[in-house]
């Protein structure tokens, strides 16, 4: 079973995506801050990090940059799931190493799950 680490601070979004991803056969872990993220990616080695950009204690941009600069996690697939939808935001995310960028308003949770299946397909 593939493991998704959802980095999100909104309980409503966490609830919806945990439910949808679990229904699709994924195992889901949730993290809300930098320490928790690094602890979980070190211990559990998720197949995908689903990352929000606007977080309480750290910007998602900084977290993505740190993950991609760490040789241990360089190959970790990261999909951004954010309300930030400007072209410059999407370009920044991709430049920092994201595999995909999902703008929350443009995708239903079910559509995001379908795209994640494609990302993680063998």
**Hunting for tokens 């320490």 — which residue is that?**
35
pLDDT at 48: 98
Structure tokens of 38?
């690094």
pTM here?
Answer: 0.95
pLDDT at 57: 86
Dump pLDDT digits (tens) for 77-97.
Answer: 999 999 999 999 999 999 999
Domain 3-120 coded CATH 3.40.50.2300: yes
From its phi and psi, is residue 98 left (phi > 0), alpha (psi between -120 and 50) or beta?
beta
Distances (CA, A) of 105 to 2, 91, 97, 109, 120: 26, 17, 22, 10, 23
Per-residue burial over 41-63, b if 16 or more Cβ lie within 10 Å, else e, is: beeeebbbbbbbbebeeeebbeb
């Amino acid at each position: 079973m593939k493991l998704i680490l959802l980095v999100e601070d909104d309980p409503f979004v966490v609830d919806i995506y945990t439910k949808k991803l679990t229904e699709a056969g994924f195992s889901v872990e949730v993290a809300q801050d930098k320490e928790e993220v690094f602890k979980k990616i070190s211990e559990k080695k998720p197949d995908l990090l689903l990352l929000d950009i606007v977080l309480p204690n750290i910007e998602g941009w900084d977290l993505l940059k740190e993950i991609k600069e760490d040789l241990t996690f360089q190959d970790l697939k990261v999909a951004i799931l954010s309300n930030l939808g400007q072209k410059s935001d999407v370009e920044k995310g991709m430049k920092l190493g994201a595999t995909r960028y999902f703008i929350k308003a443009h995708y239903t949770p079910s559509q995001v799950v379908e795209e994640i299946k494609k990302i993680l397909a063998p």
